[in-house]
């Protein structure tokens, strides 16, 4: 009996020891998980610090003290940034929910806006044309010639805006005011009005376009958005020189193009004495 009790006691002591060891093992595992979480947080902080470091480097390269070939067209004649650097800045701005927009008026964004326009129109030219910047050739920007936003008519030989034409122009101005696109105002003359010569036809069509553009400007369409075009009698609704043809060809058209308005030249600062 004494031997059995001794064996049972020894067995119980062994189980108790294992149980105690098992209890001691849990806190150790919990501490390991805490250390792992700490490493994860430290790694994330390190990644953010590295990103911030590269952002600072890019900002320094955009500053006045940046080293590199001078860019005469850049703000204050600063150093030119490579396309890869500009793309990097654009990507970082997008990642931080602060994308660069084509209509930005910030002088510091001008190189980035120019880069966006280059990327939108980049590619090797396959058509014959007048040489342009880099891979591009000079070409007229695509516009909607068949669906003008508004059309107003004129009396024969006159560039005066009638009351009906003024109401039409005021309505058109209310639709297009505040936009960032170029507004072409095209003046036209009839074949009858152009009989006295091309000069008279072009002059009359220009006066009509300018008169219509002036009304648009009086109703919150800035001149920076407006392009006045004289077409003479070269773009006819009616091919005949009859009175019916005069009624449709003596007109001014307002067309919203797909071309963004030009940048304000005074935001870039003086360059090369210009």
196-217: pLDDT as tens digits: 889 999 999 999 999 999 999 9
Q: Which of 102, 133, 106 is nearest to 117 (CA)?
A: 102
Residue 194 DSSP SS3: coil
Position 138 confidence tier, pLDDT thresholds 50, 70, 90: very low
> CATH no. for residue 155?
3.30.1330.60
Position 125 confidence tier, pLDDT thresholds 50, 70, 90: low
Residues 83 and 168 in one domain: no
Domain span at residue 112?
75-120
Gap between the Cα atoms of 79 and 118, Å rounded:
19
Is 155 part of a structural domain of the chain? yes
Strands (E), the chain: 150-153, 181-187, 226-230, 251-260
Is 145 part of a structural domain of the chain? no
* Orientation angle between helical segments 83-95 and 110-120, nearest 10 degrees: 100
Q: What are phi and psi of 63, to 5 degrees?
A: -80, 180
Mean pLDDT across 243-254:
73
Strand-pairing partners, residue 79, are 70
Is 34 part of a structural domain of the chain? no
Is 16 part of a structural domain of the chain? no
Above 70 in pLDDT, residue 132? no
Gap between the Cα atoms of 118 and 131, Å rounded:
16
pLDDT at 215: 97
pLDDT in tens, 236-247: 776 555 555 455
**CA-to-CA dists, residue 11 to 6, 20, 23, 25, angstroms:** 9, 14, 18, 21
pLDDT at 134: 47
Residues 164 and 229 in one domain: yes
pLDDT at 145: 45
Strand order in the sheet with 226-230: 150-153, 251-260, 181-187, 226-230
Above 50 in pLDDT, residue 251? yes
Helix (H), strand (E) counts: the chain: 6, 4
Residues 200 and 110 in one domain: no
Residues 233 and 163 in one domain: yes
Residues 101 and 159 in one domain: no
Mean pLDDT across 122-150:
51
Residues 159 and 252 in one domain: yes
Return the structure tokens found at 201. 């036809």
Is 31 part of a structural domain of the chain? no
pLDDT at 20: 46
Gap between the Cα atoms of 182 and 222, Å rounded:
10
Residues 256 and 181 in one domain: yes
Is 241 part of a structural domain of the chain? yes
Structurally, how many domains does the chain consist of?
A: 2
């Amino acid at each position: 009996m004494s031997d059995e009790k001794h064996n049972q006691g020894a067995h119980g002591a062994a189980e108790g020891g294992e149980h105690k060891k098992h209890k001691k093992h849990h806190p150790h595992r919990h501490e390991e998980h805490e250390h792992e979480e700490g490493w994860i947080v430290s790694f994330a902080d390190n990644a953010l610090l590295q990103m911030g470091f590269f952002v600072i480097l890019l900002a320094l390269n955009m500053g006045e003290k940046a080293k590199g070939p001078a860019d005469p067209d850049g703000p204050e004649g600063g150093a030119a940034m490579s396309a890869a650097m500009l793309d990097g800045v654009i990507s970082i701005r997008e990642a931080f929910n602060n994308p660069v927009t084509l209509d930005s008026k910030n002088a510091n964004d001008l190189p980035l806006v120019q880069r966006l326009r280059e990327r939108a129109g980049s590619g090797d030219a396959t058509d014959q044309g007048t040489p342009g910047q880099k891979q591009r050739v000079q070409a007229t920007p695509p516009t909607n010639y068949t669906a003008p936003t508004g059309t107003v008519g004129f009396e024969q030989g006159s560039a005066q805006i009638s009351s009906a034409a003024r109401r039409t122009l005021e309505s058109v101005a209310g639709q297009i005011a505040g936009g960032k696109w170029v507004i072409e105002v095209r003046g036209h003359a009839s074949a009858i009005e152009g009989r006295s010569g091309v000069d008279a036809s072009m002059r009359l069509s220009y006066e009509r376009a300018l008169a219509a553009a002036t009304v648009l400007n009086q109703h919150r369409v800035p001149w920076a958005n407006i392009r006045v075009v004289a077409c003479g009698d070269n773009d006819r609704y009616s091919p005949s020189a009859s009175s019916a043809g005069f009624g449709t060809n003596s007109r001014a058209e307002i067309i919203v193009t797909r071309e963004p308005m030009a940048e304000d030249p005074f935001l870039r600062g003086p360059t090369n004495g210009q």
